[in-house]
A and B are shown apart, each in its own frame.
Chain A
């Protein structure tokens, strides 16, 4: 009896995932607990392990397909051993996202993808698709399972696809637009769920809030000196490097305590202040910047902060952050500096009301006590929701962070 591989529960409120890539191919052996497939949600990508050892006997969902939580996406024949010399090519050929118009070479692949889609349309896993809906799905390279079906017996109607396209902001018939001029090519690639989610949230933030950015700059000499002095001792004691992030998190929490509006959110007609500090820290992953949240950051030491953030960074690169870790947050620290940005205006992550932007450290001449000195300088940006935060508060908040980073003793003494 084959064992079903189902989409695991990936967090509350998430009912649907998209199949990322199959790490094992049909016919390949898998070990118990070995990752078989990556699934994507709008928050994160995670791996689904095999529950038994055996052979991946059947792959039911192709890359890019939607699947419900609990849905069977593959079957594993327990105890079986992979037949020698058989394996890969089937899954590879079935990818529906093959670039269009690759000339003769691409044609057989496209045809194979079409047969796959047809099999699905005719009542495999997805809904029963009415003929006109089927045409429209193909025209827009959509998966039937992705579109909510309203017809009798769960049939997918033409109007369902139209509604879906309208909601996606894509007018029906858009795909029939004139092809690009000869010799030039456009590639139409579906947005990944992560990209779509990011896009939605950013637009939402811009539309719903009154965003304003204030700037300042910070002299990093003191922090750098402190790091230099204690680096080895810190590292040998905590097995973690003393970085800049922990200073900024500490400084931000200190400032947030003074200006609770920046740790608050607007809910309907009320303002909700929070006595906890869940700080989102932007880290880079393969799929762009993600913002895992350090919970109760005010209770963590420098070493604990460094360790948590370091772990986030590693797991982000491996696509192993869980959706829960990316949810919530009361304030965010973004670091455009890792890519070399000197100055930027970060966007608030709703419903938060502030985001601190860190940037590249650059040696610049500055006037210190009437003398021109070369100092390691960093520009700071604070984007805030003006509905909740007044300009004076925002400016003072950012100035407080500057002061705390420039004289870290202030963090200790809370002055």
Chain B
């Protein structure tokens, strides 16, 4: 029976990063992954392919319209969706191959198959050539999450699908109904809207991007509407049925108290749940909480000795970078270190156009907690670089404690917000005050100057307003 110091089940961002870090620290690490390609949801059917399509579709839109503004006239811009999808696949392959290369480089053993706990430090791998049992000192569960649907909405893997299908449509649907106005729905809704689909977003709540700072979400709503996405907020979807035959085959989405919405395709993006089935958790004695998540302590230990869980399987934001940090911290702790992950400082990015990025607390959270704060807001429209780029939508909002000036939350909607937020996360990690950010030199002309100006605006002394 093969023996390893650490056996990790799942090769997503949590699992593969943990494997590499573990190997760096001198452990004999093995990874069990059911898919042939490594990288998990994020690399194969999540973050990476969606970003590829978002970029491609944005360029298409640009070539069709905005380029003339720059004095660049392109004639007969056409869409080759097959080529766009092929490029996406190449981008994904480059990344999955990259993970495989890193495994080789770090001598991480790879087993292909479904991993199942057998208790007592044993993991059975159900591979193509029959089961194989592994013996491990430490077992790390990193199987991530999978999309959920709504009652009455049955995923058929074709017209009614999840993000996985929506990343691979071979034709631009005439109409697309997106159920759920979270970041997945808005990103993929944007892709297909740019490529020509009539996109309608149905959201149960009366706002989009639940959990995000409300003011920022409302700004996003306005901008997305301007781009042609239609929103139906406060809409409770009660069912989706297939109707018609052949070419006229389509879906009708039922909404409580409103007219049914017909659509060529439906994207269900109402959330994700931990992927715990078939893992043998009961046999191993790994307990779940009432939300079906694996219960872990601060050191990622589950209720079963020697079994740990990280990332989407456990409570906390379901984000790739958070799973990566979990994996690194766990490995360092197993090697005798004392790493920890500050879940209050996990940034979130929505790759719409413009991007939305956020870290720390929202205005609503601060108000609810009774924390007095000051707000500094600065628009990209007053930034030289943004004007040169022709991307002046959006703004940076910084929330700082009224008395101590400590930065408590940063909410960016605007060009490259996902990159701009990094500065805010670093600053907050160092417990910076808004004044610290304001006193940090920012190169000119850059988009990052908007962050600095917003920090100045906290104290009412923005320069360029």
Interface residues of A (CB under 8 A from B): 130-133, 135, 150-152, 155, 157-159, 162
Contacts and interface: CB of A to CB of B under 8 A. Distances in A.
19 contacts: A130-B431, A130-B433, A130-B436, A131-B439, A132-B405, A132-B435, A132-B438, A133-B436, A152-B431, A157-B404, A157-B432, A157-B433, A158-B404, A158-B406, A158-B435, A159-B404, A159-B405, A159-B433, A162-B403
B429 interface: yes
B64 to A, nearest CB: 46
Interface in B420-441: 429-433, 435-436, 438-440
Most A CB within 10 A of own CB, among B401, B404, B433, B440: B433
Contacts of B440: 131
Contacts of A133: 433, 436
A158 B431 CA distance: 9
Given A130-B430, A151-B430, A152-B430, A162 B404 contact: yes
Sorted nearest first, the 7 A-B pairs with minimum C-beta distance are: A132-B435, A159-B404, A131-B439, A158-B433, A132-B436, A132-B433, A151-B431
Interface string B429-459: 1111101101110000000000000000000
A126 B137 CA distance: 45
A159 B406 contact: yes
Contacts of B429: 152
Contacts of B430: 130, 151-152, 155
B416 to A, nearest CB: 24
Interface of B: 401, 403-406, 429-433, 435-436, 438-440
Nearest to B439: A131
A155 B406 CA distance: 14
Contacts of B404: 157-159, 162
B406 A135 contact: no
Contacts of B403: 159, 162
A3 B295 CA distance: 56
A157 B435 contact: no
Nearest to A132: B435
Contacts of A157: 404, 406, 431-433
Contact of A131 (B406, B431, B436): B436
Contacts of B439: 131-132, 135
B406 A130 contact: no
A135 B431 contact: no
A162 B403 CA distance: 9
B405 A130 contact: no
A371 B111 CA distance: 119
Contacts of A131: 435-436, 439-440
Contacts of B406: 157-159
Most B CB within 10 A of own CB, among A133, A150, A158, A162: A158
Contacts of B436: 130-133, 158
Contacts of B432: 130, 132, 157
Instruction: Tell me what chain A mostly uses at the interface: helix, strand, loop, or mixed.
Output: helix
B436 to A, nearest CB: 5
Contacts of A159: 401, 403-406, 433
A126 B431 CA distance: 18
Most B CB within 10 A of own CB, among A131, A133, A135, A162: A131
B433 to A, nearest CB: 4
A175 to B, nearest CB: 16
Given A130-B431, A158-B404, 14 more contacts: A130-B430, A130-B436, A131-B439, A132-B405, A132-B438, A133-B436, A151-B431, A152-B429, A157-B404, A157-B406, A158-B405, A159-B401, A159-B433, A162-B404
Contacts of A132: 405, 432-433, 435-436, 438-439
Nearest to A153: B430
A132 B440 CA distance: 10
B338 to A, nearest CB: 14
A153 to B, nearest CB: 8
Contacts of A155: 430-431
A61 B439 CA distance: 28
A162 B402 CA distance: 12
A290 B404 CA distance: 39
Contacts of B435: 131-132, 135, 158
Most B CB within 10 A of own CB, among A130, A132, A152, A155: A132
A157 B431 CA distance: 7
Most A CB within 10 A of own CB, among B405, B438, B440: B405
Contacts of B401: 159
A132 B436 CA distance: 5
Nearest to A162: B404
A388 B338 CA distance: 54
Nearest to B403: A162
Nearest to B441: A131
Nearest to B455: A132
A131 B435 CA distance: 8
Nearest to A128: B430
A319 B372 CA distance: 50
A301 to B, nearest CB: 61
Contacts of A158: 404-406, 433, 435-436
Contacts of A152: 429-431
Contacts of B433: 130, 132-133, 157-159
A158 B401 CA distance: 12
A131 B432 CA distance: 9
Contacts of A135: 435, 439
Nearest to A155: B430
A130 B430 CA distance: 9
B345 to A, nearest CB: 11
A151 to B, nearest CB: 5
A150 B404 CA distance: 13
A130 B436 CA distance: 7
A139 B436 CA distance: 15
Nearest to A151: B431
A313 B430 CA distance: 52
A105 B304 CA distance: 75
Contacts of A130: 430-433, 436
A162 B435 CA distance: 13
A152 B342 CA distance: 13
A152 B427 CA distance: 11
A157 B429 CA distance: 12
A152 B404 CA distance: 16
A155 B439 CA distance: 16
A69 B404 CA distance: 31
A157 to B, nearest CB: 5
Nearest to B427: A130
A267 B405 CA distance: 41
A162 B432 CA distance: 14
A174 to B, nearest CB: 16
A175 B282 CA distance: 66
A49 B438 CA distance: 46
Contacts of B431: 130, 150-152, 155, 157
Nearest to B406: A159
A252 to B, nearest CB: 51
A132 B405 CA distance: 10
B297 to A, nearest CB: 23
B432 to A, nearest CB: 6
Nearest to B432: A130
A155 B440 CA distance: 16
Nearest to A150: B431
A133 B404 CA distance: 11
A159 B430 CA distance: 13
B429 to A, nearest CB: 7
A408 B288 CA distance: 89
A133 B406 CA distance: 11
Most B CB within 10 A of own CB, among A150, A151, A159: A159
B257 to A, nearest CB: 51
Nearest to A131: B439
